[in-house]
Amino acid sequence: MKEHIAIIGGTGLSRLDALEVERQQIVVTPYGEPSAPLTFGQFDGVPIVFLPRHGEAHTIPPHLVNYQANLWALHSVGIREVVSVASVGGITLPPRALVVPDQIIDYTWGRGHTYVKCGCTPIKHVDFTHPYCEALRQRLLEAGREAGIEIADGGTYGATQGPRLETAAEICRMEQDGCDLVGMTGMPEAALARELDLCFAHLSLVVNWAAGKSEGTISMEAIKEVLDTSIDSVRRIISRL
Ligand code: HPA
């Protein structure tokens, strides 16, 4: 049997239209319930498991997503590869850019960010020098090339707490830190995947200029417009993958 690859869908990708659903599975984990039942199906003939990060009705905000349960659930059904998709703000990259980042800076706090428990010996310190799985990153980039869709190779994803957007000064600081993208869900998702030894890569869709990077304020209508017109490219990349 072919192994399933998991897709964690973000804003704008709460469902995959072309997914031929075979079954849904509710997984209860020691960390509580994932954002939704896992959906098993075929996407262009490839077995995948789909999990909408913000829930099926897109009701779970970034700081309340149960990242521990999500990754644990995927791992517990035998998943070894996870592609995470999210919409982000662009600090050095413009709206509509698609990016497969290669680095992360974590500005989040108070989230369930590890599976390491008190009393576990020896205490586990996972290597996180390169936070994403390089082989899967390359396959995503290759899928983009095959689909004729330009994807930026590399960039630093700055994970903020949300749900509010950032101030212009925060974005200025993040740019000085070396961030190219800003999003609210990239961490602790990637670190938890690493703790579980999952091969994990991320595809970002830039839906707005980050705060202070364009005239005026950030409008949800403009974000929606970018999402509506660009999310199809994300679907095509996943389909190629
Ligand atoms: N900041 C943080 N997260 C985001 C943004 C942003 O500007 N746009 C989409 N997700």
Q: State pTM to two decimals.
A: 0.95
Beta-carbon count within 10 A of 25 CB: 11
Q: How many angstroms separate the alpha carbon of residue 113 from the centre of ligand 1?
A: 20
Please give the DSSP secondary-structure letter assigned to residue 64: G
Kindly tell me the sign of the dihedral angle through the C-alpha atoms of 4, 5, 11, 17: negative
Q: Please name the residue that has the structure tokens 């998702």.
A: 189
Ramachandran angles phi, psi of 199, nearest 5°: -85, 115
- Residue with CA at minimum distance from ligand 1 atom 2: 183
Residue 165 CA to ligand 1 centre (angstroms): 6
pLDDT of residue 1: 47
Query: CB within 6 Å of ligand 1 — which residues?
Result: 87-89, 160, 165-166, 182-184, 207-208, 210
E strand intervals along the chain: 5-9, 19-25, 38-43, 46-52, 81-90, 98-100, 103-106, 152-153, 156-159, 181-183, 199-209
Per residue of the chain (241 residues), what is the pLDDT tens digit? 467 899 999 887 777 777 889 999 999 999 999 999 999 999 888 899 999 999 999 999 999 999 999 999 999 999 999 999 999 999 999 999 999 999 999 999 999 999 998 877 788 899 999 999 999 999 999 999 999 999 999 999 999 999 999 999 999 999 999 999 999 999 999 999 999 999 999 999 999 999 999 998 999 999 999 999 998 999 999 989 9
Query: Does residue 57 sit in helix, strand or coil?
Result: coil
Using CA positions, which residue lies closest to atom 7 of ligand 1?
A: 89
Which atom in ligand 1 lies closest to the alpha carbon of residue 210? 7
Tell me the CATH number of domain 5-240, given options 2.60.40.1180, 3.40.50.1580, 3.40.1190.20, 3.40.190.10: 3.40.50.1580
Residue among 182, 214, 227 whose CB has most ligand 1 atoms within 8 A, to mutate:
182
How many whole angstroms separate alpha carbon 148 and alpha carbon 17?
Answer: 21
Pairing of strands 199-209, 38-43: unpaired
3-state SS, residue 6: strand
Q: Which two tokens stand for residue 154?
A: 């590399």
Ligand 1 centre and the CA of 28: distance in Å?
30
State whether the Cα torsion 134-139-140-146 is positive or negative.
positive
Q: Which two tokens stand for residue 95?
A: 């709206």
CA-proximal residue: ligand 1, atom 10 (nearest): 88
The pLDDT score that the predictor gives to residue 103 is 98
In Å, how far are 52, 116, 127, 213 from 59, measured between CA atoms? 10, 28, 33, 28
Contact predicate 58/172, CB 8 Å: no
Is the CB of residue 139 less than 8 Å from the CB of residue 132? no
Number of residues assigned to the chain = 241
Q: Which residue has the tokens 């709460």?
A: 14
